[in-house]
Amino acid sequence: MPLPEDEALTSLNMPTLNRYLFPWVIGQRCIASGNSLLYNFDRFDTTGREPNTLCVLRQGLSAIEFRTLRDVVAGEELTWDYARAVSRSS
């Protein structure tokens, strides 16, 4: 569920709510639900590990899609880089 720009900006100062928000279009964020809340953030420059999924924002469908970037072994944590989310219009 996309948030209006003013609410998205306000949410940055609300740590509990901020944990559940995803990037959306410029100036907006969205509330995610379902399995998307199970994937953790990861960045090579922070943790030394490359994320194993890519976050695709499907704006035309109001959906968030995660795609693996490589083979993932059983029990491996699924991670994504929030700075590299990709937007698609459909």
The contacts found for 37-41 with CB under 8 angstroms, 24 or more apart, are 38/78, 39/66, 39/78, 39/79, 39/80, 40/77, 40/78, 40/79, 40/80, 41/79, 41/80, 41/81, 41/82
**pTM greater than the 0.75 cutoff:** no
pLDDT of residue 20: 75
pLDDT of residue 90: 61
Q: Provide the 8-state DSSP code for 11.
A: H
* Mean confidence (pLDDT) of the chain: 83
Determine what percent of the chain is predicted with pLDDT higher than 90.
19
Number of H helices, E strands in the chain: 3, 7
Residues 15-63: pLDDT tens digits? 777 777 877 877 788 887 778 778 888 888 888 889 999 988 888 787 8
